[in-house]
Structure 1
Amino acid sequence: MVAHHMEEAAAAKQLQRSSRAQMRTLGASIVTRQSAEIAMMNKWLATWYRGHSPTTGYRPMMRDLSKLSGDALDETFLRDMIPHHMMAVIMSQQLLKHAGVRHQSVAAFAARVREAEHAEMFRLQRYLADWFGGDGVLCPIGK
């Protein structure tokens, strides 16, 4: 989840270039939240899971946003972040249901991630529908 959050924070930083105040606010909120959670998870790794790399096996899900601007930046972010959030929800749910969590702090964190990212997905879908038409249903990554 550390690498997943790092990717999300890096993408969200790009939103400071958005012309939409809602996207700039969203980006700043994501960066703040994800940075705090990354620090917490890295502390857990160092304390409870020494030797485990936070990036082992992670495959990026988001496209490079650094060269995009305007509507292209906003729409690409939304289209990539919806499935990105969906994966966080799935990972959290799998941890809670199948992994036999050893530390209650980790279980509580997984539950918070599941709820927060699920709720945020609906806001992202609403933005997508309002600004770019359609019903806000996510598109496959890479489209």
Structure 2
Amino acid sequence: MRRTIVAAVVAGALVGAGASAAVTAHDDDGWSHPMPAGQRGGHLGHRMSGLGGHLAGFRTGHHLSAASEKEYLAEMVAHHQEAIEAARELRRSDRATMRRFGARIVEAQTVQVEQMESWLAEWHPDDSTDVDYEPMMRDLTRLSGDRLDQTFLEDMVAHHMTAVMMSQHGLASGLFEHDEVAVLAADIRDDQRLEIVRMRGWLHDWFGTRWMH
């Protein structure tokens, strides 16, 4: 049953990425510019790869069961922090496109982490925000060249899919008490959905990795 639910959420969350791209500003790489939550006028509507059999995202299906806004925020902070740490490793990439992409993830997700931590401190000052977070990404520190880029892309596609699912689940279930969190969740869902499409394209173009249903 859980596998069926997860598959349905993935499909629903990823549909419409092409339409979203039409209203998003792009840079010279054709990449959408990330924006802090709330700077889109309250807009809430903004290819999973074969990954060589490495489907890290589905190891953390428990993220879909966040029972409150606070749990969503605390889980997403931990999730973002892992992505930021991994993206910093792309400073060593041989590809300028990947170096820019890594810098963009670090910048955008750092802003979001700071926002989420401020909300947790303001709304839940006496509550613990510790989470039992299960790391999803492989160690990149000793990788270089194509191995660094391919491993990052494979793992980050699955990592992004989990954030898309977490955010879509929260929006669809009416989990969020504050409109600001709903806006942020929609931004995370839509930005990372577009990034999944781009990363899958790079995996295909550079490494021959194709979609597997």
Tell me whether the two structures share a fold, i.e. TM-score over 0.5: yes
- Number of the residue aligned with 1:18: 93
Q: Residue 176 of structure 2 aligns with which residue?
A: 101
How large is the RMSD of aligned CA atoms in angstroms? 1.1
Structure (1 or 2) with the larger CA radius of gyration: 2
Q: Does 1:52 align with 2:128?
A: yes
1:74-120 CA distance string (max 9 Å, x none): 00000000010000000001111124311000000000000000000
Partner of residue 127 from structure 1, selected from 194, 202, 207: 202
What is the CA–CA distance in structure 1 between the aligned matches of 2:209 and 2:202, rounded to whole Å?
11
Structure 2 equivalent of residue 111 of structure 1: 186
Question: What is the alpha-carbon distance in structure 1 between the residues aligned to residue 174 and residue 141 of structure 2?
Answer: 36
- Mapped to 1, the partners of 2:94 and 2:197 lie a distance apart of 21
Q: Distance in 2 between matches of 1:69 and 1:40?
A: 33
Residue segments in structure 2 that go unaligned for 5+ positions in a row: 1-75
Please state if 1:81 is matched with 2:156: yes
| Counterpart-to-counterpart distance in 2, 1:100 and 1:125 | 30
Q: Which structure exhibits the higher relative contact order, with contacts defined as CA atoms closer than 8 Å and separated by 6 or more residues?
A: 2
Cα displacement string for residues 41-76 of structure 1 (whole angstroms, at most 9, x for unaligned residues) = 0000100122231x4021111111001000000000
Q: Which of 106, 114, 127 lines up with 1:39 in the alignment?
A: 114
Residue 205 of structure 2: SS of its match in structure 1?
helix
Count of aligned residue pairs for this structure pair: 136
Instruction: Assess if the C-alpha contact under 8 Å between 1:45 and 1:52 holds in 2.
Output: no
Give the letter aligned to residue 92 of structure 1: S
Aligned-residue identity in percent: 48
Q: d(CA) in 1 for partners of 2:172 and 2:132?
A: 21
Determine which structure has the larger helix proportion and give its number. Answer: 1
| Rounded Cα–Cα distance in structure 1 between residues aligned with 2:135 and 2:209 | 27
Unmatched 5+ stretches in structure 1: 139-143
Alpha-carbon distance between aligned partners in 1 of 2:124 and 2:170, rounded to the nearest angstrom? 16
For 2:137, what is the secondary structure of its paired residue? coil
The structural deviation recorded for 1:134 is: 3.1
